[in-house]
Amino acid sequence: MSVSTVRGAHAADPTPGLEAHDLSRAFGDVRALDHVDLVVPRGGVTALVGPNGCGKTSLMLVLASLLSPDTGHVRVLGVDPAKDPRGVRRLLGWMPDGFGTFEALTVREVLRTMAGAHGLGAGAARPRVEELLHTLRLDPLADRPARVLSRGQKQRLGLAQAMVHSPQVLVLDEPASGLDPRSRLELRDTVRALAAGGVTVLVSSHILDELEEMCDRAVVMDAGRVVASHDLTAAPALLRWRVGSLDVEALRAVLAARGIEATDVPSPDGDWGRRGALDVDVADEADAHALLRLLVDHDVPVFTFGPATTGGRLEAMYLSATREERS
Amino acid sequence: MSGDRGRLRERPTSGAPDAPTTRSGRSPAQSWAAIRLVAGLELRQRIRTSRWYLVLAVWVIAVYGVVLLGWFATSESTSDERGVVLYSMTTFVVLGFGLLVVPALTATSINGDRDRGVLATLQVTQLGPAELVLGKLLAAWALAGLFLLVAAPVYVFTLVTGAVGPLRALGALLVLAVCLAVFCAVGLACSAWTARTVSSVVLTYLAVAGLGLVTVILFGLLLPRTAVETDRQVWTMTDDQGQRCVLQTQRREDLHTERVWWLLAPNPFVVVADAAPALPANENQTAFDPLQAISTGVRLARIGPAEGALDECWSELPVLREGEAVEDATRVAQAGPVWPLGLGALVLLGVGSTAVAIRRTRTPVHRLPRDVRIA
Ligand SMILES: Nc1ncnc2c1ncn2[C@@H]1O[C@H](COP(=O)(O)OP(=O)(O)OP(=O)(O)O)[C@@H](O)[C@H]1O
Ligand SMILES: [Mg+2]
């Protein structure tokens, strides 16, 4: 099957790559997942972000047919892991966060074993393993025991393990942790190439800049719930702009007169005097320009004016989504 | 990676685009291949990581050390007697040391894999829980078989000297192999049942020691409680008419062992001893055969106290009572073998343990052991 037919297929086929409906799972009194609803369209890369302990790994375990939810259900390309775990496992590759590996085996043996475990015969497994060793730059390590691999090398082996049966859905739990800059770029390229081939990828990470370059969509979780979901390819709805002024009260007065909402930016230690900064939500860059004109027209002593976060849009989105949750 | 985009793109199309919605079955051939894969993985892991050759060396020294002791102890005996003693000792040593070594092969098999984070990696493949568990069991059993193989030359020796028939030697090996498999299965069940490897090791040893020791201790403790006072006919020596053996009625306590004998039945030592076919009746045969002694003891325990008169003259001379006391040998023959029951119980335990291990490795998991993360 060629790339175009795959794309055609998923364009016509409404079955999402991954879905979760009303998913809840508690561990004792910890609600790891709290009525999660999620649809990941087929093809493309979706980021799963959220603070530590918000339930990302738990969600991925349910998707990977390892953990069963207390309520709700998930579907992987329409297959329910509760009913047909083998069917799901054929379609899905899972890369755990901080996994171990078969330490006494060499890298090549690990991959061959995993290929065998997925039911690939020796004839199909050998070329596939060599190909993966090559694409993930593991060939110089192929005959070394997995025990001696560095953390980043182990991560690459983990990705190769997840991909060994050429799954149509990949669930990657913090694949970039421990990777050097070059390997990160390569990971991004690998993931993008897979997505271009019609693979649905769900990837969690805390390094938002990187996800932004890799992902088409982002889902933000907090305290076991999905709190935001954004299309990163579309224009953002709101941007958070930070305005610093030598006279914060004058700034506040002008904004209040226009009914523009602003939030205080806590000042760092030390005496700021009358100086201060406020965050303002703007629709787009043109809106920001209008705001600056307004402030200048009213002689507000502005000394900084720019996006509130040094990071990208994903970071802004993440911060605003999780901040709303906190308050 | 970047240079290989094209190759990656062609790949991910192997599965059917219209996702299968039925439960995917496995053919026996596929399952067998999967079990072999897991067993091969286990064996390679174990042989490369652990100091198994040290354990094996210690094993060889232990088995042959005992054999050597037996050899010297029987230096005065005929080769037949020597053969019988060596055969019995080897069987006991293999079983006794097997009880110590073999549970360790599987006692951390499943929770250890979970700790190292490799269990989930296998569980998300096509391998089913039964294939995983049976593969691990097969690998452990193969290693246990290696221990058994070490002892095989002694059996060959006893065969060659003609002390022990081929049926007896083979029977002992077979029953030993089954016992070792049961120990492996118990270890697997414990490692699947408890999350911490320390607990599962302790649990496994408790279970195996329970079979080997606690059954005997319990039997011993319960034995006095089976005592019943009755009037018995007893042959005793009387002094008045010059050392004669006479029949008297005395009040006696009978131990009704038939009420508690079953405690001994699943004891692996009893099973092995009782399963070994009896030595041919031979007047010249005077060697003490512990296997036969145990077997006789258990069979007698099973039928309880003798009905007829008791013989307490302890006289070697032919006395008047001849023909009246029931011979032990006939009673043993009437009792019939105990080992099919014991072996049955052990096999049941093994199968049950395997079933528990399979149930506990099934995914998706509903109930996790406390404070266990899957990944
Ligand atoms: N097996 C378990 N037993 C008890 N609590 C658990 C278990 N697994 C997860 N939790 C709890 O559930 C919550 C969600 O955990 P999860 O691992 O899904 O978080 P996460 O989003 O992946 O975090 P991180 O970003 O740090 O990886 C946490 O509070 C965690 O402590
Ligand atoms: Mg996590």
Beta pairing, strands B244-255 & A92-95? unpaired
Beta carbons of A66 and B116 less than 8 Å apart? no
- CA angle (A208, A233, A50) in 5-degree steps: 30
- Considering only CB atoms, which chain A residues are within 8 Å of B13? 1, 6, 166, 168, 197-198
Beta pairing, strands A217-222 & A44-49? parallel
Domain ranges of chain A: 18-231, 239-326
pLDDT in tens, A206-243: 888 888 888 889 999 999 999 988 887 765 667 788 89
Residue B104 has pLDDT above 90, yes or no: no
Q: Cα separation of B58 and A301, whole Å?
A: 85
Range B155-162, long-range pairs (CB < 8 A, 24+ positions): B155/B87, B155/B90, B157/B83, B157/B86, B158/B83, B158/B84, B158/B86, B158/B87, B161/B79, B161/B80, B161/B82, B161/B83, B162/B80, B162/B83
Q: Could you tell me which of B238, B244, B365, B250 has the C-alpha nearest to residue A25?
A: B365
pTM of the model: 0.82
Q: Cα separation of B45 and A69, whole Å?
A: 33
CA of B60 to the centre of ligand 1 (A): 48
pLDDT band at A76; cut points 50, 70, 90? very high
Beta carbons of B4 and A193 less than 8 Å apart? yes
pLDDT band at A1; cut points 50, 70, 90? very low
pLDDT of residue B348: 96
In 3-state terms, what secondary structure has residue A264? strand
Amino acid occupying residue B32: W
Contact assessment for residue B59 and residue B147, using Cβ atoms and an 8 Å cutoff: yes
Interface of A with B in 174-193 (CB under 8 A): 185-187, 189-190, 192-193
pLDDT of residue A220: 92
Which amino acid residue places its CA nearest to atom 6 of ligand 1? Answer: A27
Question: Is the CB of residue B373 below 6 angstroms from any atom belonging to ligand 1?
Answer: yes
Amino acid occupying residue A147: R
pLDDT of residue B13: 40
Beta carbons of B126 and A118 less than 8 Å apart? yes
Q: Per the structure block, which two tokens stand in for B319?
A: 């006395």
pLDDT of residue A235: 56
Q: Please name every residue paired with A45 in a beta bridge, in sequence order, or none if there are none.
A: A201
Per DSSP, A106 falls in state B
Per DSSP, B229 falls in state E
The alpha carbon of residue B136 and the mean position of all alpha carbons in its chain are separated, in whole angstroms, by: 19
**B277 against B209, higher pLDDT:** B209
pLDDT band at B215; cut points 50, 70, 90? confident
pLDDT in tens, B218-262: 888 988 888 888 887 777 777 665 666 777 788 888 888 888 888
pLDDT in tens, A252-309: 999 999 888 888 887 665 566 788 888 888 888 888 899 999 999 999 999 889 887 6
Reduced to 3 DSSP states, what percent helix, strand and coil does chain A have, rounded to the nearest 5?
Answer: 40, 25, 35
Contact assessment for residue A215 and residue A47, using Cβ atoms and an 8 Å cutoff: yes
Question: Is the CB of residue A27 below 6 angstroms from any atom belonging to ligand 1?
Answer: yes
Residue A202, φ and ψ in degrees, nearest 5: -115, 120
pLDDT of residue B19: 37
Question: Is the CB of residue A164 below 6 angstroms from any atom belonging to ligand 1?
Answer: no
pLDDT band at B286; cut points 50, 70, 90? low
Contact assessment for residue B50 and residue B117, using Cβ atoms and an 8 Å cutoff: no
Q: Distance (Å) from the C-alpha of residue B177 to the closest C-alpha of chain A?
A: 28
pLDDT in tens, A301-325: 998 898 876 556 777 778 777 766 5
CATH fold of A239-326 = Alpha-Beta Plaits (3.30.70)
Q: Cα separation of A170 and A93, whole Å?
A: 5
Q: Distance (Å) from the C-alpha of residue B100 to the closest C-alpha of chain A?
A: 26
Q: Distance (Å) from the C-alpha of residue A229 to the closest C-alpha of chain B?
A: 25
Reduced to 3 DSSP states, what percent helix, strand and coil does chain B have, rounded to the nearest 5?
Answer: 65, 5, 30
Contact assessment for residue A274 and residue A247, using Cβ atoms and an 8 Å cutoff: yes
pLDDT of residue B54: 86
pLDDT of residue B319: 47
Q: Could you tell me which of B192, B148, B183 has the C-alpha nearest to residue B169?
A: B148
| Reported CATH class of domain A18-231 | alpha beta
Q: b or e along A244-263 (b: 16 or more beta carbons within 10 Å of the residue's beta carbon)?
A: bbebbebbbebbeeeeeebe
Question: Is the CB of residue B222 below 6 angstroms from any atom belonging to ligand 1?
Answer: no
pLDDT of residue B241: 58
Give me the mean pLDDT over the B276-294 stretch: 65
Amino acid occupying residue A49: V
Q: Cα separation of B197 and B188, whole Å?
A: 11
Give me the mean pLDDT over the B134-155 stretch: 91
pLDDT in tens, B11-21: 444 443 333 33
Give me the mean pLDDT over the A62-85 stretch: 94
**A70 against B82, higher pLDDT:** A70
Is the bond leading into B364 cis (omega within 30 degrees of zero)?
Answer: yes
Give chain B's radius of gyration (CA, Å): 28
- Is the Cβ of A260 closer than 8 Å to some Cβ of chain B? no
Per DSSP, A35 falls in state E
HSE value, Cβ hemisphere, 13 Å, CA-based, for B248: 12
In 3-state terms, what secondary structure has residue B200? helix
